[in-house]
Amino acid sequence: MKSYIQNLKNDIPASIIVFLVAVPLCLGIALASGAPLFSGIIAGIVGGIVCGALSGSQLGVSGPAAGLAVIVLTAIQDLGAFETFLLAVVFAGVFQFILGVLKAGIIGYYFPDSVIKGMLAGIGVIIFLKQIPHAFGYDKTFEGSLAFTQNDGHNTFSQFYYMLESITPAALIISVSSLAILILWEQKFMKNISLFRLIQGPLVVVALGIILNIVFSGTDMALKMDQVVSIPVAESFSGFIKLFTFPDFSQWNNPQVYTVAITLAIVASLETLLCLEATDKLDPLKRVSPANQELRAQGVGNLISGLIGGLPVTQVIVRSSTNIQSGGKTKTSAILHGFILLGSAMLIPTVLNLIPLSSLAAILILVGYKLAKPALFKKMFKTGWTNFIPFVVTILAIVFTDLLMGIGIGMAVAIFFVLYENYQRPFVFERMENLDGTGEITLTLPEDVTFLNKANIQRALTIIPNNSKVTIDASKSINIHHDVIEIIEEFEVNAKERKIEVNFIDREQKGMESSPMKVLEKSLKDNKLTPALAN
């Protein structure tokens, strides 16, 4: 609790900036999903307050996800009513919670670093590209879109042509001024001034945007309705309550409801685990968030969101990265952003509706740039081609398809390189000079020996000279494929004819556990310690 209080000076400003970014994203995703606009706001509120409170992630922010927009749109149409869809969201939350209980969160740790960093950079590139039209006043696509093909029939690149035909001077003035302020705020001399450390650049940008919007209103340069935030306005508290919708429980026996629920649970869980891993990579303190706890938190969040009329929620990288870049330190910023969203939607929706989308575009352009900095590409290039190629492929695939498809393609390439490296290095000859038959040859097998190693191991055993002494050391091997075991057994038989003395060492002969995890678990048990990620 003490650390949360100590970090309020960082978390409060960060929560306000995350809130400002979240508003148009929540509305845009709801619009793209064919759902009531306020359902996106509800999902943002639940994602912030409920998921934020229950999550073990200190910097992750949850809310409606663009990656689910197409699934939601199709599901609402197939189920025939939004209220029936809400029931599917409730069941999806239950399924997610069960996945967390079953410890399915471990799936997230199987994504290689090159793909996770490629995902972050790819999303950064998309944010940057998608926000440029909004900065020019072209707002035909919904905020938060991550797909290459857009809802207006254009794509990420063709929209630049149509953008040039619809330039709005007021929007351009606001976005350029906003970018200038944000860049100024990033300068070292500005950060040395205590006042400017207290007042965040994005807050100044939004305030300037509202002022310029008011100045331009009533003139030929006035912004249009689709160029500003457009949150539903309730005339009274009772009117605000009516904005909430409740699920149709009479559809509990509809098989389609469960099909949609399972689909939502799986896709939302996968997106959450990917974003959780990516957020941990961005965390300056490199904290590791418990994945199973996150699945349970998301499950409760989706259950509540469905019960009160909200879209399904996941942890989302745009808001999470904005939180980190805005100086957020603990989960307080995510929770506060949910409360601010609730209070603003209830009390000051008309003020929110004065915020130009071009102001928010400037903020997101900087967020995108920071996610895909040239320095990241240089760093990944230095790690070697086996990391750099999956990294670049993931970026390109995300930009030209969508988030999940892009990650899938990136994973396929990363796995190819893992298999290729495994094929290239199936064993280690500790003393190659002994191939002349004058001494003992030690062949050390790696931790995982797959069927891909079969040909190289077969070739190595074949060229061993007659009358040699051979030690096949498998003490480091946890898994040896049956095909390789068969080759070694055949070699032992053939070795008698070639007068080769064979000594085989496995893990048990050295008194070692077959699984490193068993060793760790036994050690923790002996010391009566609980693993940090056990939840």
Q: What is the 3-state secondary structure (H, E, C) of 152-173?
A: CCCECCHHHHHHHCCCCHHHHH
pLDDT, one tens digit for every residue, the chain (535 residues):
667 888 888 999 999 999 999 998 999 899 888 899 999 999 999 999 999 999 999 999 999 988 888 899 999 999 999 999 999 999 999 999 999 999 998 888 788 888 989 998 999 999 899 899 989 988 777 676 777 887 667 788 888 888 888 889 999 999 999 999 999 988 888 878 877 777 788 999 999 999 999 999 988 889 988 899 888 888 888 889 989 999 999 999 999 999 999 999 999 999 999 999 999 989 998 888 999 999 999 999 999 999 999 999 999 999 999 999 999 999 999 999 999 999 999 999 999 999 999 999 999 999 889 999 999 999 999 988 888 999 999 999 999 988 888 899 999 998 888 777 766 655 555 544 445 555 678 888 877 777 767 777 877 888 888 888 888 888 877 778 777 888 888 888 888 888 888 888 875 654 444 554 454 455 556 555 555 555 6
The partner residues of 503 in beta bridges, in order of sequence, read 471
Calculated CA dihedral for residues 30, 320, 389, 425, nearest 10 degrees: -120
Nearest-CA neighbor of 51 among 103, 120, 107, 100? 100
Q: Provide the whole-model pTM.
A: 0.80
Residue type, 310: G
Radius of gyration of the chain (CA): 28
Inter-CA distances, 5 with 47, 48, 286, Å: 22, 18, 21
What's the pLDDT at 434? 47
Longest Cα separation, the chain: 99
Angle at 154 between CA 152 and CA 159, to 5 degrees: 110
Please state, in angstroms and rounded to a whole number, the distance separating the CA atoms of residues 443 and 447: 13
Enumerate the domain spans of the chain: 2-382, 428-516
For residue 126, give both structure tokens: 């998309």
Please state, in angstroms and rounded to a whole number, the distance separating the CA atoms of residues 18 and 514: 47
The answer to whether the beta carbons of residues 334 and 62 sit under 8 Å apart is: yes
Residue type, 304: I
The answer to whether the beta carbons of residues 159 and 151 sit under 8 Å apart is: no
Q: Which residues of 244-257 are buried (b: 16+ CB within 10 A; e: fewer)?
A: ebebbeebeebeeb
The answer to whether the beta carbons of residues 209 and 359 sit under 8 Å apart is: yes
Only one residue has tokens 């002494």, namely 469
pLDDT in tens, 59-76: 999 999 888 888 999 999
Three-state DSSP at 428 gives strand
For residue 9, give both structure tokens: 């000076």
Strands 479-480 and 448-449: parallel
DSSP 330: S
User: Is the sign of the CA dihedral 402, 404, 410, 412 positive or negative?
Assistant: negative
Calculated CA dihedral for residues 519, 525, 528, 532, nearest 10 degrees: 60
Residues 6+ apart with CB under 8 A from 210: 351, 354, 355, 356, 359
Residues 6+ apart with CB under 8 A from 235: none
Report the half-sphere exposure of 44 (CA within 13 A, side-chain side). 34
Angle at which helix 169-185 crosses helix 113-136, to 10 degrees, equals 140
Q: Residue 416, Cβ neighbours under 10 Å: how many?
A: 14
Question: Which of 3.40.1190.10, 3.40.50.300, 3.20.20.80, 3.30.750.24 is the CATH number of 428-516?
Answer: 3.30.750.24
Inter-CA distances, 70 with 115, 142, 151, 402, 523, Å: 24, 13, 10, 11, 47
The answer to whether the beta carbons of residues 20 and 182 sit under 8 Å apart is: no
Nearest-CA neighbor of 332 among 63, 2, 7? 7
Angle at 70 between CA 67 and CA 74, to 5 degrees: 145
Angle at which helix 82-101 crosses helix 255-282, to 10 degrees, equals 60
How would you class 331 by CB atoms within 10 Å of its CB: exposed for 0-12, middle for 13-18, buried for 19 or more?
buried
Q: Which residues of 468-503 are buried (b: 16+ CB within 10 A; e: fewer)?
A: bebebbbebbbebeeebeebbeebeeebeeeebebe
Residue type, 49: I
